[in-house]
Every structure is written in C-alpha cells, then in structure tokens.
Chain A
C-alpha cells in the first residue's frame, strides 16, 4: 500500500515537474526577451531597496554596505528628537495640504468648463494651449519665476506702476508656498484635466437627454449627472494625492529656495539631498527618507481603505 502511494506520489511529482519544465520551455523566448528588463529592475530598483539597510548602519564607503557596523535605530532616534526634523515634516505637510486645496480642484473645474463649451474648435484650441506648459522643463519654469519675481522683474514693474513697494518675493519665506503652488497650477492644470475629460466623455449621452426632457437645467444636470459620473476618477486621484502628502518633488524646491526661505521651503526630500549628497551623511539621510516613504505608504494604504469603504472605488 505504502509503496504504491509513494509511487503515485512520485509520479505526480514527476508529472508536476515535467509540467513545470514544459511551461518554462514553452515560454523560453519570452524569458529571453524579459531577461534584460528584469536585470534593469534588479539593478536599479531592488538593489537600491536592499541598500536601504544602511539606514540601520553607520555606512562607510570603504567598508561597503555589508562591512559597515550595525547601529540599530540610532539615526531614527536622532532625527525624531531633532526639532528641525519636525519643522521639515510641518513644511512638507503644509505645502502639500495647501497644494491639495488649490491644485486638486483646478483641473476638475477646467474640465467641467471645457465640457460645457458648445464649440469644438475652441475647446481643442484651449486644450492644446493649456497642455503646453507641462512639457516645459522645471529649470525653465523656475528660471521664469526667478526672473519675473526679481526686484527689477516683470511683477515688480507692475507693482511700481501701481504705486506699490517692491517685494523681494524669493527672499520672503511667507511667499514661498504661494509661488510654488501657483506655478504648479500654471504648469499642470491643463494636463491634469485630461483624465477628467476622459471620464466626462464616458458619461452616457442619454442621461442628459432624459434629464432635459424632465426639465432639468444645465446646473442641475451638472450636479446630478456630470459630477456623479466623474466621482470614481476624482476619488482615485484624491487617494493618489493623499498618499503623496509626505513626499514632494524636490527638483523645483532645490531650484527656488535659498537660505532665507528655508523656514517654509525646506522639506524632507531637499534635506535628504543636502544632508546625504552634499554632506555625505549617507546613513542618516537614508533613514530620513525611509521614514518618509514608510509614512507615505501608510497614508496611501489608509486613504485607499477609507475610499473603498465610502465610495467602493480605490486603487486596488
């Protein structure tokens, strides 16, 4: 009995094994094709992820990642007790929350306005123009900001013409967030509206016809048909934005900030850049950035959960 069972088991194992080999063989060219991309992901994504362990070590270039001594949570304790770190958290959160408040609704409003246009040609024209800034580099946008806001720049010329005082915009911490967010809207409002326009195009035309017959005016149609129609898109975009509350693109800030605006402009990622790459404090900077991405993941997970409960839409 036992021997037969073993024999059957062995046969099945063999069968499974041969099935496995057959499958792999069938896909062999696909593996060949996939080999280089896989190498890419391992080299430039998973190897750096492995490198995160230097956050728990005192990394030393000579000793390498493995040879450097473990220090546990030393770096985390250090920055969690550092008052400047909390200033960075505050700055990161504030710039994102204000950004969410102003930049998030802007493309939705633009999409709704474009959608109400009876004239297709004009709609196309506005769209083409409004996408353009998205393709202009951060350096150029910041160059424009710096020069327009300089003491003899375009904006100050207007202020003088209106009989006001000159303002050194980029030297004043209280102006930084406004400049950052407003220029962000300028650059991305058109591009951001594409997703909503796609969602609007997907709304069933018959719903509007039925509503018109029932005597609903345009405003009512918008409240009861258009907005519910793009609600899933809005919630997905909102989740993605909430997940990003703790992170922020550093490129633009690095180009725009200076010592006198650190008060409001210095955020976690710029600090990581200065501490890590300019100050060569690799382990400490990695610990800070790990803290940031872990909090970011928790935020993303939580907001997705909430959205799943409330509106049954989510990223996963």
Chain B
C-alpha cells in the first residue's frame, strides 16, 4: 500500500498485521501442502506411506512408481494424444478467436451490432449437452480429434477480451495503412496481430490449459481407448482405481500390490500436472492482465 498509510501504525494495526500474515501463511500452506504431499508420497517407499509415516519429508526415496508408470505404454500414448489435442486445439482457438474478434472490434464493420448480438447471445443460452452431442454425431465427428477440438473452438468470453484489446489499438494506425492501400486482411495480419503479442500469449495459455485439463468431451465423444487423453486415463487409474493392465507389472516391482497402488496413483498425478507447473510462471505473468481486461470492460 502507499506510504501515506504506513505512517500511522497503531498497536491495534500492528496486531492485525501479524494476524493477517499468519492467516495468509496458513492459506499458502493449505494450498501447497496437498500437492507437496502427493509429490513426497510418489517418491517414498510405499511401506512407510501405508504406516502413515510420510508427512513432511519423503521416506525411503524410490523412483519405482515412476518406473512402473513409464513402462505403461497406455500412458505414453495418452500423453501424446493430449499433446496433439492441445496443440491443434489451441491453434484453432487462436485463429478463429482473432478472426472473430477483429471484425467485431471495428466500429465501421457493417452489421456489427447484429453480429455482436449473435455472438454474445450464446453466453446466456445454449443448446445443452444432448443437442450438442447430436450435432457432433450428425457431423460424423464422434471418436475423432475434431469432436475434441471443434466444439470449444471459440470461447466467447476470451474472444471478447481479445476484441477489447483490439479496440484499444489506435485507429489512426489502421487508417494510415488503409490510405497506403492495405486491405483489412493485410491490416489484421501486419498491424493488429504484431501489436497483440501480449494478449495472444495470454490467450494461448488460457486455451492450452483448458485443453490440457479437459476431460468431459473426451468422455462423451471418444470411444477408442487409443484416442484417450491423459485426463481420461487419470480418471480411470486415480479415481476409478483401474489397475487391470498394471497389476502384473507392479507385482514384479514390489511384492505388496496395495502398498504400491497409492504411490503409483500419485506418480501419475504428478506426471500429468508437471507441464502445467512448468508454464505456470508464464501463466502467472500474463493471465491476471487478461482477467482484468475482461473484468473491467467485458
């Protein structure tokens, strides 16, 4: 806060300040500890975990759970699928969202109010799960990558954030390009997009995280096991506790299956979260800006 508010620090405020710090530290602990716990369990010896001896530090450090996970070809394939869905999906998101946002950002776009309404209306009304499913079925997209990447191609909220950003780019830049004989396509490509790198970075992260974490569309649209993304596999292993294929390989690594099961699950969780954690510093930097634009002007 500003210096003016720091000058007067009464005893009451000092006490409050201490309590405030403690409360927020508790929040930090509660947020981080579950994830930290999963990490230390995943690298601890299962025997100590089942005895309830792993709390703050890993005990009997072993990477056997990770070895088992990496021996599982299903996980590799699911990982590859998720990477494909995320890359293709995000590329489509960015292209379509900017193609939608740019015309809507132009005040001289003839018919703009009508198109804005058509787009904004979908934020309040939707066909719902079943009619959308029937459309995807009718288009013949079931059990293909397109059923995963096309239905969420534009997130209207994100698109509006983008439009707001485009609107804030000085019109004079576009006008002078126009006088130089550039058409709208060239303006979008050569002027708007190069000036929109920060918002594009934010959007890439938003959309990519969304694809990486998405599981429901895969659950309803995909039938073949070979096309499952990581999240579906994660659900089957971690929540439903399916070990059919892994049981034998785990049996080889350690004798007690039940003991290793937990390490195994937690190792799978860690592997699926690592990419998110790696991009998190970038996310951190960009997303707050995006949310602010959306919140203040959306």
Contacts and interface: CB of A to CB of B under 8 A. Distances in A.
Contacts of B76: none
A122 B24 CA distance: 10
B176 interface: no
Contact of B295 (A140, A198, A208): A198
What size tier do the contact residues of chain B reach? 35 or more
B128 A272 contact: yes
Contacts of B13: 217-218
A43 B115 CA distance: 15
Interface stretch (A9-17, A90-98, A113-121, A172-180): A113-121
Contact of B4 (A24, A130, A209, A285): A209
A129 B32 contact: yes
A217 to B, nearest CB: 7
B108 to A, nearest CB: 7
A251 interface: yes
B127 A137 contact: no
Contact of A27 (B31, B108, B269): B108
State the main secondary structure of chain B at its contact with A: helix
A52 B131 contact: yes
A259 interface: no
Given A137-B213, A273-B129, A143 B234 contact: yes
Given A122-B21, A140-B269, A147 B4 contact: no
B150 interface: yes
Interface string A196-213: 001000000100110010
A191 to B, nearest CB: 8
Contacts of B35: 132, 136
Contacts of B288: 131, 194
B84 interface: no
A144 interface: yes
B20 to A, nearest CB: 6
A143 B238 contact: yes
Contacts of B243: none
Given A138-B215, A144-B269, A194 B295 contact: yes
A274 to B, nearest CB: 11
A212 B4 contact: yes
State the main secondary structure of chain A at its contact with B: helix
Interface residues of A, number: 90
Given A51-B127, A137-B231, A34 B99 contact: yes
Nearest to B95: A36
Contacts of A250: 216
Contact of A205 (B4, B21, B129, B132): B4
A31 B131 CA distance: 28
Contacts of A194: 288, 291-292, 295
A286 interface: yes
Interface string A25-61: 0110111111011101101111111111010000000
12 contacts: A34-B104, A41-B122, A45-B122, A47-B127, A110-B27, A113-B20, A133-B31, A140-B273, A160-B52, A217-B12, A272-B128, A285-B129
Please list the 9 inter-chain residue pairs (A to B) with the smallest Cβ-Cβ separation, ordered nearest first. Answer: A48-B127, A51-B131, A37-B100, A137-B213, A143-B238, A29-B184, A48-B131, A23-B110, A289-B128
Interface of A: 23-24, 26-27, 29-34, 36-38, 40-41, 43-52, 54, 65, 110, 113-118, 122, 125-126, 128-133, 135-140, 142-144, 146-148, 152, 154, 157, 160-161, 186, 189-190, 194-195, 198, 205, 208-209, 212, 217-218, 233, 250-251, 254-255, 269, 272-273, 276-277, 282, 285-286, 289-290, 293, 297, 300
